[in-house]
């Protein structure tokens, strides 16, 4: 009888956050390939830019220098 005289238990129901969509294996693979492809593209562009700078500096240095000794072969790159 004593349990009937206790104060009632009040439960507050809190709204649950929306369920996030599941990510499948193909979506993970496509995302990884996209990131790797982007990094490869940036690396290729950086390599091309550095190559162009090196070739330009080399050509500028060759143009500024005097005639080449006849014992040397010029590659004309």
Question: Domain residues for 49?
Answer: 35-62
Task: Give the per-residue pLDDT at 3.
Answer: 62
* CA distance linking residue 73 with residue 71, whole number of Å: 7
Q: Number of folded domains in the chain?
A: 1
CB of 55 within 8 A of CB of 33? no
**pTM passes above 0.85:** no
Residue 52 belongs to some domain of the structure = yes
Residue 12 belongs to some domain of the structure = no
Residue 39 belongs to some domain of the structure = yes
Residue 28 belongs to some domain of the structure = no
Residue 17 belongs to some domain of the structure = no
With cut-offs at 50, 70 and 90, classify the pLDDT of residue 70: low
Instruction: State pLDDT tens for residues 28-67.
Output: 999 999 999 999 999 999 999 999 999 999 888 877 776 6
Task: Give the per-residue pLDDT at 12.
Answer: 87
């Amino acid at each position: 009888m004593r349990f009937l005289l206790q104060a009632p238990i009040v439960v507050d129901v809190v709204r649950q956050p929306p369920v996030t969509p599941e990510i499948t294996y193909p979506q993970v693979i496509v995302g990884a390939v996209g990131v790797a492809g982007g990094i490869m593209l940036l690396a290729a562009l950086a390599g091309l830019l550095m190559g162009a700078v090196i070739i330009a500096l080399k050509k500028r240095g060759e143009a500024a220098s005097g005639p080449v000794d006849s014992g040397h072969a010029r590659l004309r790159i």
